Every structure is written in structure tokens, then in C-alpha cells.
A and B are shown apart, each in its own frame.
Chain A
Amino acid sequence: GAGVSQSPSNKVTEKGKDVELRCDPISGHTALYWYRQSLGQGLEFLIYFQGNSAPDKSGLPSDRFSAERTGGSVSTLTIQRTQQEDSAVYLCASSLGYGNTIYFGEGSWLTVV
């Protein structure tokens, strides 16, 4: 596609349920990021994938959060047993690698009720 594609664009879920958020990066981009943006806050780094290397998970806030990247392309961020504080916009981004421009998707707005 022309840009980073994320789905769903909006998700309302009940506390305690699991959610999956999907990211389809720009074709050919080897680096993929997940960030979280809470209301009125900056962008909080969650996880980074680069090619076939082990991901950098240093930003994941708890073990309820996990992410996979299959075949070096599509990524899924999974949040288990969602809590109200997980409500935020989850942004995916991709780039050609270190030092290159990072392009963001439109985000997935998650609301936990």
C-alpha cells in the first residue's frame, strides 16, 4: 500500500477481554515500531522490529502486552485482559531502517469500558 495501514481504526472492548491490533507497514520497510499515545500525552515507545533480528521489547508496559511480526511484514499487537488504563491510540510506524524517515499509520483508537 501507499502508507502504513492499521486496523481496526476504532475498538471498544470490555475490561478483561483480549484485543488484537494489526499493522501493515509500507512495502519494503524492514523496521516496524509500535507506539502508544494516551490522551494529551506524547508518544510512548512500546516495541521495535528490525528484519529478522530479535525485537526490542523494552517499552512494553506489562506482560499483558505482546507483539509479533510475521514474515517480516504484518505485525499484530496483542493486549490481554485489557484494563481501563490501556485506553489510548496505538500507533504503528515503519521505516527503511535506522536513520531513515519513520512513517506513521493513522492509529487504532482503543477504548476499554
Chain B
Amino acid sequence: GENVEQHPSTLSVQEGDSAVIKCTYSDSASNYFPWYKQELGKGPQLIIDIRSNVGEKKDQRIAVTLNKTAKHFSLHITETQPEDSAVYFCAASPSYIPTFGRGTSLIVHP
């Protein structure tokens, strides 16, 4: 089955800095890569996703890049704000069941 590794497990940045979270996957059949943000006590919410026919996608301060050859994808958050503090999960989906990474706890210090 699919295996997703996510790094780092914790990321601490100053407000205004950029944050990068990286994921690798094992199954070359994966073709859908969503990213979720989970705030304390809430369920995960989709923030951005990318499909395998696209190398990069951007939505305001958030961007995701995908390298299918190397089997890795990354989330980039620019101009971080305190409200970006949360746990972020990547996922890879070779079929109807996405496999999730273990999460990155992002802390943005004001």
C-alpha cells in the first residue's frame, strides 16, 4: 500500500516568514495530493490540492509543488500569520482511499 512520510513534525516560524512542509510517497500510481489544516478541536479542512498532471498550484499565500519523478510534494506558506498556526496533513491517493502523513505542527510566533 501507499506510504506517506511528512517532515518536519514541528515547525516554528516568526510572523511574516515562510514555512515549507515536505512529503514523500511510495506508490507511483498516486495521482491526487490534498493538503489539510486541522485546528485544535476541529476536523481537518482541505486548504489546497494538486493532481498529477500539474507541477505547481497557488492560492494566495499558499502554494503546492509536485515532483512525480522524485515522488515528493511540498506545501509553501508565505507571509505567515498567527492564524496559520495549526497541524497540517499531506495525503497521497492512488485509489479511493487517501493515505495521510503524520502531520506537521506549525507554530507562528507574533
Residues of A within 8 A of B (CB): 4, 31, 33, 35, 41-43, 45, 48, 50, 56, 59, 91, 93, 97-99, 101-107
Contact = CB atoms under 8 A, between A and B. Distances in A.
Contacts of A43: 44, 89, 100
Contacts of A98: 95-96
Nearest to A50: B96
Contacts of A56: 96-97
Given A48-B96, A50-B96, A101 B46 contact: yes
Contacts, number: 47
A-B interface, 6 closest residue pairs, ranked by CB to CB distance from nearest: A104-B43, A42-B102, A43-B100, A98-B96, A106-B43, A42-B100
A67 B98 CA distance: 19
B35 to A, nearest CB: 12
B45 interface: yes
Nearest to B96: A98
Contacts of B45: 104
Contacts of A50: 96
Contacts of B74: none
A41 B34 CA distance: 18
Contacts of B43: 4, 91, 93, 104-107
